[in-house]
């Protein structure tokens, strides 16, 4: 992975394994830990399934997933497409509102796993953002606290030895 963006297309629910490999490669490249990898995998898979379900073309629906690495973190834009590559122009206002309402009801788990989520007004795309800069900060704080505990234990042991001598 030479650049900070990449894209794949999923043709129906049967190709979800392709999405899993795509996310695994990204997380391996950016050294994302297993806990956060699970969040990214589940949220992205669920969002893709939701768009396929909402489109009512689960068997042959086409979803494009674009990955970008930016200053915020990892961003996945999941977009539903029809055969011509565009979606939403032929839908009337009522159909778009129904799709958007169904999306908002089913997206709770995705919201819980992502740091930022954006759903398009037409309901044909979802953008998921995962902040990864804070992961290293949290890991650093954990290591600092572990070192402090270690050094405090050594000082306490050293003081007891002096008293006993």
pLDDT in tens, 25-75: 999 998 888 878 999 999 999 999 888 876 665 456 789 999 999 888 899
Q: Are residues 95 and 157 in the same domain?
A: no
CA 143 vs CA 20, 100, 133, 136, 138: distances in Å: 31, 44, 16, 10, 9
Residue among 92, 64, 90 at smallest CA distance from 78: 64
CA 84 vs CA 43, 75, 91, 133, 137: distances in Å: 27, 25, 14, 38, 44
Q: Are residues 42 and 123 in the same domain?
A: yes
Using pLDDT thresholds of 50, 70 and 90, give the confidence band for residue 5.
confident
Using pLDDT thresholds of 50, 70 and 90, give the confidence band for residue 137.
low
Q: Are residues 112 and 145 in the same domain?
A: no
Residue 84 has what pLDDT? Answer: 46
Q: Are residues 16 and 97 in the same domain?
A: yes
Q: Are residues 159 and 82 in the same domain?
A: no
pLDDT in tens, 61-108: 789 999 999 888 899 999 988 654 444 445 566 676 666 676 666 788
CA dihedral 140, 142, 143, 146 (to 10 degrees): 160
CA 49 vs CA 8, 43, 79, 101: distances in Å: 15, 10, 11, 16
Which range of 38-47, 119-128, 141-150, 151-160 scores highest in mean pLDDT? It is: 38-47
Residue among 38, 52, 62 at smallest CA distance from 103: 52
Domain range enclosing 74: 5-131
- pTM: predicted TM-score of the whole model, two decimal places: 0.69
Into how many domains does the chain fold? 2
Let me know: does 73 contact 132? Beta carbons within 8 Å. Answer: yes
Let me know: does 74 contact 67? Beta carbons within 8 Å. Answer: yes
Q: What is the CATH number of the domain that holds 43?
A: 3.30.565.10
Q: Are residues 120 and 165 in the same domain?
A: no
Residue 85 has what pLDDT? Answer: 43
């Amino acid at each position: 992975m030479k650049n900070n963006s990449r894209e794949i297309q999923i043709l129906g629910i049967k190709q979800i394994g392709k999405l899993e490999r795509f996310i695994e490669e990204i997380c391996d490249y950016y050294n994302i830990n297993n806990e956060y990898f699970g969040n990214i995998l589940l949220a992205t898979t669920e969002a893709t399934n939701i768009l396929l379900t909402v489109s009512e073309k689960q068997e042959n629906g086409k979803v494009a997933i674009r990955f970008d690495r930016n200053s915020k973190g990892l961003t996945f834009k999941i977009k539903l497409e029809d055969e011509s590559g565009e979606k939403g122009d032929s839908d009337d206002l009522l159909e778009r509102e129904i799709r958007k309402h169904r999306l908002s009801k089913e997206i709770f788990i995705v919201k819980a796993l992502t740091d930022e989520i954006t759903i398009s007004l037409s309901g044909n795309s979802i953008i998921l953002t995962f902040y990864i800069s804070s992961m290293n900060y949290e890991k650093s704080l954990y290591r600092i606290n572990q070192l402090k505990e270690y050094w405090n234990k050594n000082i306490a042991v050293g003081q007891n030895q002096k008293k006993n001598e």
